[in-house]
Structure 1
Amino acid sequence: MHSTLPSVIFFDVNETLLDLGNVAKSVTVALKGRDDLVASWFTTMFHYSLVTNAINDYHHFGEIGIAALQLVAKQNDIFLTKEEATLAIKTPFRDLQPHLDVIAGLKKFKDSGIKLVTLTNSSDAGIASQLKNAKLTEYFDGALTVQELQIFKPDLRVYEWALKQMNVEAGDAMLIAAHGWDVAGAAKAGMQTGFIERPGMFQFELVEKADYSAPDLLQLANKILGF
């Protein structure tokens, strides 16, 4: 556990701050009502983002999501065109709403004087659109994505690059995410970490656990800030 407050907090966005419920519904419709395949789609998308890291063949995360949806459809004998897959993912991803606890939590951090920056696997245009549509832009001092680096989290190089962009030492920075793999990557890079226990989200037993953990962002902010 770190004893000092971070000067910069990096935030994951999808599921951490923004509710992916509408994406899940859209994917379910594309897969002909098979809501049981949504988790498989998420897993496949993340898996192939790591494959692109391993073989040094970067594609925007949205492209990977579309290709992953087509793959899951094929695996389950569901006819789905690329155009249908694109429509099922791109439109809802750009228009996600924040979880109910997010604005209050961000205000807590903002009022404390800590710099807040997003750090996502999305594209530059994607995160700009998401923050604008969710009315969260005003809470952040910056928005970093992997587009320039062309390597996806949780590769350690992403966190190291982000620290350099903000001119901050690892121990003086924190990452907050609802994904155990993201927290694990940041911790390995030497950063402080906070985990949001969104429904169905858990930390992996074989990696370092988050310094702070709470059911939502407001409760996490209170823990970190000492309220």
Structure 2
Amino acid sequence: MNYSIGFDVYGTLVDPVDMGLHLENLIGDKASEFGQLWHDKKVEYAFRRGLMQQYADFTVCTQQALQYCLNVYQISLSTTDQQQLMARFAELSTFDDVIPGLKKLVQHGHQLAAFSNGPELSVRKLMTNSHVLPHLQHVISVDDLQTYKPNPDVYQYLMRRMHADMNSCMMVSSNPWDVIGAKSAGLQAVWVKRSPSKLFDPWEIQPDLIVSDLCELAEVLNS
């Protein structure tokens, strides 16, 4: 069976914590902790805005999360340095399995989309810079609906954009909350367990499939 597959971007296709030398050059030996907190906080801010129905796009969430982290670590960065850090989100690297996995899925006739909380233009730029875009048929953003995952409306929107139904549309994400959101909206959902130490939420909603990477996903769907 051929599926219409929506891939979460940050954490599934690219590593949002891996700012590497960009953070180290400005922040020093706390760069890894800073990067993780920054990621966690921007997701939290998106959740809050979705629940409050006070939408601002993901760039705003990311900028405010950066300011929070600077306050936590008592770091002062110039406006220019902050802008440079924000710009680096267009240069995040893919996980090693992403392009090989996507190629195998396309070869077997699956329809693929990047499906993100990020604005479409930003996601397209990131997918272009990371050489992922040629392997996708769609780039779909929640920005079109002015809300965020895991609102069920956004998963229904994914199905409409991909002209798919609940039997043929699949969400693939490394984020358990995203998998749970997709499942609760009626989609099939795959959890990409990118680390052996990661745990799935002990909810009544569980993924249809657990894989370690996208190459394993391709093997399972193409078998």
TM-score by length of 2: 0.90
Match of 1:104 in 2: 100
Distance 1:102 1:207 in 2: 29
Deviations, residues 69-105 of structure 1 (Å, cap 9, x unaligned): 11122133222345433321x2221012221111111
Q: Which amino acid aligns with 1:138?
A: P
Q: Which of these residues, 207, 213, 220, is aligned with residue 217 of structure 2?
A: 220
SS in 2 for 1:110: helix
Of 206-215 and 103-112, more deviation after overlay is shown by 206-215
CA 213–25 in structure 1, closer or farther in 2 if over 3 Å, else same: farther
Q: Which of these residues, 151, 154, 164, is aligned with residue 168 of structure 1?
A: 164
Q: Which of these residues, 193, 203, 207, is aligned with residue 206 of structure 1?
A: 203
Q: Which amino acid aligns with 2:208?
A: D
2:118 is the counterpart of 1:122: yes
Distance 1:196 1:129 in 2: 24
Q: Which amino acid aligns with 1:19?
A: D
CA RMSD of superposed structures (Å) = 1.9
Match of 2:22 in 1: 26
Q: Which amino acid aligns with 1:211?
A: D
Distance 2:126 2:204 in 1: 30
Match of 2:182 in 1: 186
SS in 2 for 1:190: coil
2:71 is the counterpart of 1:74: yes
Match of 1:47 in 2: 44
Distance 1:48 1:36 in 2: 18
8 A Cα contact 2:19 2:35, kept in partner: no
TM-score by length of 1: 0.89
Q: Which amino acid aligns with 1:178?
A: S
Deviations, residues 37-87 of structure 1 (Å, cap 9, x unaligned): 332222211111111112222222122111111112213322234543332
Where has structure 1 moved over 6 Å in runs of 4 or more? none
Structure 1: stretches of 5+ with no match in the other structure: none
Deviations, residues 92-131 of structure 1 (Å, cap 9, x unaligned): 2101222111111111110111111111011111111011
Deviations, residues 126-146 of structure 1 (Å, cap 9, x unaligned): 111011111111211111001
SS in 2 for 1:98: coil
Distance 1:103 1:22 in 2: 18
8 A Cα contact 1:31 1:73, kept in partner: no
Match of 1:57 in 2: 54
8 A Cα contact 2:17 2:39, kept in partner: no
